[in-house]
Structure 1
């Protein structure tokens, strides 16, 4: 008599492979967000304290370009998975590169090791990030949209659990200007995540083992030829710029920001003209462009938490609470802690709501909320403009409002990208989603320069109004966007069921 097959344990009612991806992403986010919580403070700290000694506006510009590069390179990471290695191997290689980057940052010497470390972390994150999300989507290939949204929300809880622990541990280790010890702890976190991924890959089944559209021998030769030309040209151009005496960190970050803004435009033009995209997929892409732009506006404001808001915490916030000094980077953890508690609630809510709460509506709500958060920030900076350190409650309120907005937008964005992606560019489209973050971060890092000529309250209020207007527009065109997505608006009778 044959024995029935042993059924693999589930993970919160979801495929067991989700646990592997959940754990790997959690430790990668530990290293990433932990390092990010101290990066602007390290860049702007004077050399006597072991920092890089950059001005605050330059430090914010570098931070913005670095964060933008992390997500910009996600497009290259998706291409590697689609055409060269497959998602599984690309995630593995990316984790190794990230770990090497954090080890470089941990070397107790400012200068070349810092810049090398940032480049390696950005490159490795670009390889890992989109392909982790694509692997989650592979686990739900034959599931309905609501269940996939729920799975992505649980996955997103792992992101924020890792971020929470990283933001607690790394800034705490950094106290007393122990910058490189803190960076070393980020490397240790990534090493744990790498080990966990290697041991747990068997639970992924056949997901992501091979590239969907491996390069042909002719395409591989063409790729190598392009690489052999572009890399030396870029290196030579940077060398000439440096020798000309006109190279500065400010100018370099501005050039990178402009390049980052140009990439999404060029890539969408490429997708719309590609013969590998079917007419039906092209219509869905037109809907995705509107969601992409809305997401870019959201992240433009949201990701200033690690730059403008961290500096506000350090310079303008009363951080002594009941005799305990709160490290400035810890306040970022309001977001992570709130998501850990709220993500299961939102996962259940989206599962029950189904299509009654559409993707464009979720994006519109997220934009209104992130705009409201900067209205609060404008008031707080107005109170602090007189030289008074404001209560920590102001920043806590800002982060809580943004967290609710993030839960409406971010897991939904991952899910809708997986849904609307052209089959030939599936993994690359996860990289396109991160391009929205890259675009927002690149612009945000440069707009902070406006604070040298306009008051901080006006700066925050101007950004708030831009987000609110974008949210209103998204809601007004919800029906049109849903039609382009191939969805129909539920009838009143359907809304009551």
Structure 2
């Protein structure tokens, strides 16, 4: 048995290292992107409004998760996971290079397109490759994924600190260049290390397209592209085409997509009545996850803006760069993970049921935003607040993530009908995409002087949603049919 990497397969070291550098590049870029978008040209930025910047950040995250569906399809039906991950990394690197060049708004949109496609190609498939390193009976699988997730969070932790410091000390383009270099190292790690340790698994698609299917797919893609272009032309002719309206169009697509997925699955003749009930049980969990991700993912937009404009970052002995707060998310995940593993192990069968965990996670997400109301009411509209409030908000919402993220991924696989196993897994990513799409619209209400009201309303909505979900625990459990 291969135990070359700390008792794990040697290939895990390659994949964990690749994902470390990919997350380093992505989170390093994301930590400074909002500031680049809203900074004036004199300060090296694009000079867009805060409202537009917040919407762009939210829809960017939404598109990344939408693209993961395409990445899984390309891997399974066209390229195989090995090549899909490689091409994804190349797209990501090119996207960071576009941002590192002083070509303004054009570079931003090229970057969004490339990184969206690249992350969609790489992220779901590299996780699948980790799973394939182990047989079903291999007891090392769980510990292997723990190492892999730690690499993800460690890369996400250090990159905002490094890229944020570089962008503040020099300029934004240097920060984006560092993200590109990080992905370049990831590609080197993956290509040369993978050739030695990953064998031939994933070289070919697991379910390749038949010649007839290929023609149908091309026709559908062309029709979809034509329809999208027609809509854009119509918006342009009616003088309604702008960055904000384009973001709104993408938001509509991100919200409609999971609705259509649910309709297709529920109406399918390939699922049994028992499976149909399980899909119905998944709907309230999906909605809860969507609300949660809308709040959690606002860390790179709403909380990032708050960190720059309403937080006292001058501690005298050190000046905190606003981008550094983006390291709090992975930091708390790394701190909480062993504690939650210990908690669930100790509770055993006495631990809360899945819908309850979702409801509690929603409650904590709402509480994290309500916490931000307190300092704003204390200091007024123009004063800055202690950085500890932001740290506290992140500490609370990451408790919610521990209750929803791993639990949601697990329950998705267990409620999935056999005929839609992979597509139901895509639904979990769509909950994040839809949540951020909604966030791209409501973020417009986050304006100077009204921050307290924004945090209060969103926080209350999340807590109300958690209470409603608690009311539906019994019927959801009944539909789940003993799935835990």
TM over 0.5: yes
Cα distance in structure 1, aligned partners of 2:64 and 2:429: 9
Cα distance in structure 1, aligned partners of 2:395 and 2:257: 32
Deviations 1:80-113 (A, max 9, x none): 2232223333222211211111111111221212
Q: Helix, strand or coil: the match of 2:45?
A: coil
Cα distance in structure 1, aligned partners of 2:313 and 2:197: 45
Cα distance in structure 2, aligned partners of 1:348 and 1:96: 39
Q: Work out whether 1:117 is the aligned partner of 2:117.
A: no
Cross-structure match for 2:67: 73
Q: 149, 155, 158: which is aligned to 2:148?
A: 155
Cross-structure match for 1:492: none
Contact 2:21 2:186 in 1 (8 A): yes
Q: Work out whether 1:194 is the aligned partner of 2:187.
A: yes
Note closer, same or farther for the CA distance 1:298–1:233 as it changes in structure 2 (3 Å cut). closer
Cα distance in structure 1, aligned partners of 2:164 and 2:100: 14
Task: Note the C-alpha offset of 1:195.
Answer: 2.4
RMSD of aligned residue pairs (Cα, Å): 2.8
Contact 1:149 1:415 in 2 (8 A): no
Q: Helix, strand or coil: the match of 2:446?
A: helix
Q: 279, 294, 298: which is aligned to 1:300?
A: 294
- Farther-moved stretch of structure 1 (108-117 vs 11-20): 11-20
Task: Note the C-alpha offset of 1:391.
Answer: 0.7
Cross-structure match for 1:432: 427
Task: Note the C-alpha offset of 1:484.
Answer: 3.4
Cross-structure match for 1:471: 466
Cross-structure match for 1:395: 390
Cross-structure match for 1:227: 221
Structure 2 unpaired stretches of 5+: none
Q: 369, 379, 394: which is aligned to 1:374?
A: 369
- Farther-moved stretch of structure 1 (425-434 vs 454-463): 425-434
Task: Note the C-alpha offset of 1:217.
Answer: 1.5
Note closer, same or farther for the CA distance 1:375–1:192 as it changes in structure 2 (3 Å cut). same
Deviations 1:95-139 (A, max 9, x none): 121111111111122121221011110111112222233344545
Deviations 1:160-187 (A, max 9, x none): 1111111111111111461111111111
Matches within 5 A, 1:29-108: 29-108=23-102
Cross-structure match for 2:171: 178
TM-score by length of 1: 0.88
Contact 1:174 1:181 in 2 (8 A): yes
Cross-structure match for 2:378: 383
- Farther-moved stretch of structure 1 (228-237 vs 463-472): 228-237
Note closer, same or farther for the CA distance 1:410–1:154 as it changes in structure 2 (3 Å cut). farther
Cross-structure match for 1:27: 21
Q: 450, 459, 463: which is aligned to 1:455?
A: 450
Deviations 1:34-84 (A, max 9, x none): 111111111111112121111101110111111111111112122222322
Task: Note the C-alpha offset of 1:474.
Answer: 3.2
Q: Work out whether 1:404 is the aligned partner of 2:360.
A: no
Note closer, same or farther for the CA distance 1:137–1:384 as it changes in structure 2 (3 Å cut). farther
Structure 1 unpaired stretches of 5+: 1-6, 490-497
Contact 2:415 2:483 in 1 (8 A): no
Note closer, same or farther for the CA distance 1:233–1:410 as it changes in structure 2 (3 Å cut). same
Note closer, same or farther for the CA distance 1:453–1:143 as it changes in structure 2 (3 Å cut). farther
- Farther-moved stretch of structure 1 (28-37 vs 473-482): 473-482
Matches within 5 A, 1:207-286: 208-235=202-229, 237-239=231-233, 241-242=235-236, 245-286=239-280
Cα distance in structure 1, aligned partners of 2:279 and 2:33: 36
TM-score by length of 2: 0.90
Task: Note the C-alpha offset of 1:304.
Answer: 1.1
Contact 1:257 1:443 in 2 (8 A): yes
Task: Note the C-alpha offset of 1:293.
Answer: 1.4
